Structure 1
């Protein structure tokens, strides 16, 4: 069934296989600037969501780097979107935001990581605070704080006027404020 007929129709501009063109740029205050190649597969299997995989490679050696896979789910009858991903770094995220035309903007809603992930970590609410906020009286405050505190990774996807897909990722860690981390442009190689 074509995605246009499903609730994921507003995201159909993302479908296909995309290759970086030119290499993407990465930077962060705690690391040297770098470039990377990336292959992106965005598809659907008839469910009201998209499946995705992002596979990054070193531009010279073609050595595998970052890997990420998951789902992009549109809330029916709205422009609200959830981006659910698992990464080879041990990070698992739920990002939420909106799709407007051919632009998708999302920010972290919840973040989890394996216990032995490399530091510095992307910020999240400390476990001690979670224990303190178990009472019903503070539930609403907790939910608001949770949303605001976990907005530490943002992404923006957009289809530019040349028909290329652009992605910009910004993040904050336990040691750095929100900073642009990645920017890459992809050309579509298969629908």
Structure 2
């Protein structure tokens, strides 16, 4: 897939922004208008790539006193290595202030459909979830959860997630959570539309 002439200024602007964020490291790296080639190991997850925005707002029904809605931007990308990078950035529906933050990596065991989802969150949780990808659906369950020693209770004890690309080309995510005080219950469900690839 080649780069169109109209994309070059955008890529140059992006490269300039990266130089601002990482001025020393960026000076050592050559600029290339070509995006990195996707590692074939993670090709079965390529349907997740892109920047996604909530459409409509997500709905939460657990871990808070009242049901809530929220906005979210999700970025799932790659740099040619055998994993995907992700960040989840939700915002309060009314105030637009940032809320939960989450980032990490999605690994696929070579020549299988076994997936590991490694996540660090500003809610002081670090987790590893494992599961399988089947076509355009990814189902994962917590394998291990760690938290800081002074984390507030109730503590999250188990998490399941399901991602799927629906027939409209939108990405859906459902998260269910169990805590020290509540059994496994749906926490949030959200649908995203892709805004960039």
**Equivalent in the alignment of 1:147:** none
Offset, 1:188? 0.1
- Alignment-derived partner of residue 36 in structure 1: 70
Q: Determine the structure 2 residue equivalent to 1:14.
A: 48
Taking the aligned partners of 1:168 and 1:47, their CA distance within structure 2 comes to 27
Equivalent residue number for residue 172 of structure 1: 178
Aligned to 2:86: 52
User: Which of 1 and 2 has higher RCO (CA within 8 Å, sep 6+)?
Assistant: 1
Q: For each residue in 1:14-65, what CA deviation from the matched residue of structure 2 results, as whole angstroms up to 9, or x when unmatched? A: 0000000000000116521111100000000010100000000001110110
Q: For structure 1, which runs of at least 5 residues remain unmatched after alignment?
A: 124-151
One of 186, 191, 194 as aligned partner of 1:188: 194
1:64 counterpart SS class: coil
> Residue 153 in 1 paired to residue 162 in 2?
no
Structure 1 residue 185: deviation in Å?
0.1
Number of corresponding residues:
162
Q: Does 1:2 align with 2:37?
A: yes
Q: Matched residue of 2:60: which SS?
A: strand
Q: 1:53/1:29 Cα in 2 relative to 1: closer, same or farther (>3 Å)?
A: closer
Do the aligned partners of 2:63 and 2:187 also contact (CA within 8 Å) in 1? no
1:54-133 counterparts in 2 under 5 A? Answer: 54-123=88-157
Give the superposed CA RMSD.
1.0
3-state SS of paired residue (2:68): strand
Superposition TM-score, scaled by structure 1 size = 0.83
Contact 2:114 2:133 in 1 (8 A): yes
State the SS of the aligned residue for 2:172: strand
The gaps in structure 2 that reach 5 residues or longer are 1-35
Structure 1 stretches of 4+ with a deviation exceeding 2 A read: none
Instruction: Note the alpha carbon deviations across 1:75-98, whole angstroms, 9 max, x for none.
Output: 000000000000000000000000
Preserved contact between residue 6 and residue 47 of structure 1 (Cα < 8 Å): no
